[in-house]
Amino acid sequence: MNISPQRKQEIIDALRRGTVPRSSLDAFAVGLERVESALDEELQKVAGGGSVFKAVRGEYGCGKTFFSRWLSDRARKMGFATSEVQISETETPLHRLETVYRRLTERLATADAAQGALRNIVDGWFYTLEEDVLAEGTIAAEDEPALLARTNELLEQRLTRVSEAAPMFSAALRGYRQALIAGEQGTADGILAWLSGQPNVAAGAKKFAGVKGDIDHFGALSFLQGVLTVLKDSGHAGLLLVLDEVETIQRIRSDVRDKSLNALRQLLDEVDSGRFPGLYVLITGTSAFFDGPQGIRRLEPLAQRLHVDFAKDVRFDNPRAVQIRLPAFDLDRLCLVGCRVRDIYLQHSSAADRIRSRCGDAYVRKLAEAVAGKLGGKVGVAPRIFLKKLVAGVLDCVDLHSDFEPERDFELTISDVELKGVERHAMGATDVEEIELDL
C-alpha cells in the first residue's frame, strides 16, 4: 500500500517510540480480514441511525489498542467522529461518567482534526443551520438579528428531545453563538469549555449562557445525546467511542469496582434502548475481565449481556456477536507485520535498495525469533518491542549508515527500563508457565 510521506512518518515515529500509530493502520494490519465486513455492516447500521455496543477481548500484546485505532481510522474514513478514552482509576474512573464525557470531548477526532474537534463540529453545525435558514428564502443574509433569531428557533427544534433531558445543553449552544456574534471570544471559549465538561469555568461565562453548576454523572449521558445530535446535523455519520483498558477496574476498591461495572451496564442498556442513535461504543479488555471473578461476572446482568460462546477454533468465531476475541500473535503473523512495516519504511527513502537487500524477510524473521526468545519464548508479548527494535535498531541504522550490516553490527539488547509489566515478567521467566500476567 502506497502512503504519503507524512503518513509514513507518523507510523514510523510511533513504532520507534513503542506506541501504536493513530492512523493509516490498515497499511500493516494483519489478521483482521475475518471481521472487516461485519464491522463495516455495524458502522453502516449506526450511520443509519442505529447504535452498537461491542466488546473486544485479548491478552497483552494481541493488539487490542491497535484494533481499536484501526477501527477508528476506518470509521473516520466513513464520515464518523471518533474518540478514544483510556479508563483510569484516577483520571477517568468509569463510575464517574462526567470524567469519561470530558475526555471524550477532549479527544474528539474527525477526518480533518486529529483531536479537540468539538469546536469545529459546533461551528460547522451553526453554519449548517444558517444555510438551512437562508435556503428557506424568507431572511436575507445581511439581516443578522433575524438570522440569529431564526437560527435559534431551528436550534431548539433540532434539540427538542435533548432539551427535555438536558435543557442546559441547548442553552449553552445558544449562549456560545451569541457570544461569538457579540465578539466576546473569551466568553465563547468559556461556554464551550463548560459544554465539554471542563470544571472551574468562569462564572461570567456560565451566567452569559444561563447555565449553572457542572455536568454530573447523569447529565453526561444527556450531553452525549446532544453531541450526537450536533454531529448528525453537521453531516457526520455518527460517533465511535472507544473505552480502552476497562480491565483496570479489577484493581480498584471493591465498592468503586461495583459502581464502575454498574455504570458500564447502564451505558450498555442505554445503547440497546435506542437512546443514542448514531453511537458505536467499543470496549477493550483482557479475558480475565470478561471471565474472571473480579470482572463483569461480579454483576450478573452485565455478564449475561456480554456473554458469548466462542468456537473452539478462532477461525469460526462470529464477528457479529457482542463480544469478539483477538488471538495472540504467532511467529508467522509477527514476521508478516514486521515485513509490512519494513515495506512502509522503504517508501520515500533514498536508501530503499540498501534496506531491501540487508533487511529481507529472512532477517526480519530472525529478529522476531530473537526478540521472542528474550521474552521467555512468549511470542504474544513480543510485538511492541519487536517493532521498536526493528525500526529504531535496524531500519534507522541501515538508512543512516551506508556501512551498517544488521547481521554483523546489530546486537539485540532489551533493557528492563523499556519494558512494560507483562513484558518484564516474560523476560524474567525461565519457563513459559512461569509468566505472570498483570491482570
Assess whether pLDDT exceeds 70 at residue 4. yes
Q: What pTM does this model have?
A: 0.88
Tell the residue number behind the cell numbers 483520571, with chain if given: 91
Domain that residue 346 falls in: 331-428
Q: In this structure, are residues 63 and 383 in contact, taking their beta carbons and an 8 Å threshold?
A: yes
Residues 6+ apart with CB under 8 A from 422: 60, 61, 381, 435, 437, 438
pLDDT band, residue 429 (cuts 50/70/90): low
Query: What are the grid coordinates assigned to 269, written together?
Result: 442498556
Query: What are the grid coordinates assigned to 113, written together?
Result: 482534526
Domain boundary among 299, 325, 351: 325
Q: Are residues 311 and 369 in the same domain?
A: no
Per-residue model confidence as pLDDT tens digits over 31-57: 888 899 999 999 999 999 999 999 999
pLDDT, mean over the chain = 90
What are the angstrom distances between the C-alpha of 23 and each of 14, 36, 81, 199, 370? 10, 17, 13, 31, 29
Q: What is the pLDDT of residue 129?
A: 85
Phi and psi based region of residue 20 (left: phi greater than 0; alpha: psi -120 to 50; beta: remaining): beta
SS3 20: coil
Assess whether pLDDT exceeds 60 at residue 19. yes
Domain boundary among 262, 292, 325: 325
Structural domain includes residue 309: yes
How far apart, in whole angstroms, are the C-alpha atoms of residue 182 and residue 175? 10
Residue type, 33: E
Q: Considering Cα of 169, then 173, then 179, then 184, what sign does the dihedral take?
A: positive
Q: What is the pLDDT of residue 430?
A: 43
Per-residue model confidence as pLDDT tens digits over 89-120: 888 999 999 999 999 999 999 988 887 899 99
Q: Considering Cα of 134, then 132, then 116, then 167, what sign does the dihedral take?
A: positive
Assess whether pLDDT exceeds 60 at residue 436. no
Assess whether pLDDT exceeds 90 at residue 224. yes
Q: What CATH number has the domain bearing residue 284?
A: 3.40.50
Per-residue model confidence as pLDDT tens digits over 228-264: 988 998 889 999 999 998 999 998 899 999 999 999 9
Tell the residue number behind the cell numbers 465563547, with chain if given: 188
How far apart, in whole angstroms, are the C-alpha atoms of residue 132 and residue 128? 6
Structural domain includes residue 104: no
Q: Are residues 342 and 296 in the same domain?
A: no
Nearest partner of 229 among 164, 171, 279, judged by Cα:
279
Q: Are residues 245 and 392 in the same domain?
A: no
Q: Are residues 335 and 421 in the same domain?
A: yes
Q: What is the pLDDT of residue 419?
A: 87
Q: Could you tell me where the DSSP H helices lie in 210-314?
A: 217-233, 254-273, 287-291, 300-306
Q: Are residues 54 and 93 in the same domain?
A: yes
63-77, 130-144, 290-304: the lowest-pLDDT one: 130-144
* Max Cα distance, the chain (Å): 79
Q: Are residues 122 and 202 in the same domain?
A: yes
Q: Are residues 291 and 247 in the same domain?
A: yes
Assess whether pLDDT exceeds 60 at residue 58. yes
Average pLDDT on 216-231 reads 90
Structural domain includes residue 15: no
Average pLDDT on 336-363 reads 95
Q: Are residues 340 and 279 in the same domain?
A: no
Per-residue model confidence as pLDDT tens digits over 161-210: 778 767 888 889 989 988 998 899 999 999 999 999 998 899 999 999 99
Q: Are residues 254 and 273 in the same domain?
A: yes
Domain boundary among 275, 302, 325: 325
Q: Are residues 374 and 414 in the same domain?
A: yes
Q: What is the pLDDT of residue 116?
A: 82
Structural domain includes residue 263: yes
Number of domains into which the chain is organized: 3
Structural domain includes residue 318: yes
For 174-229, the DSSP string reads: HHHHHHHHTT-HHHHHHHHHHHTT-SS--HHHHHHHT--S---HHHHHHHHHHHHH
Structural domain includes residue 5: no
Assess whether pLDDT exceeds 50 at residue 354. yes
Q: Specify burial of residue 195 (Cβ count, 10 A radius: 0-12, 13-18, 19+).
A: buried
Q: Are residues 393 and 303 in the same domain?
A: no
Per-residue model confidence as pLDDT tens digits over 364-413: 999 999 999 999 888 988 999 999 999 999 999 999 999 999 999 999 99
Structural domain includes residue 134: yes
Structural domain includes residue 371: yes
Q: Are residues 320 and 337 in the same domain?
A: no
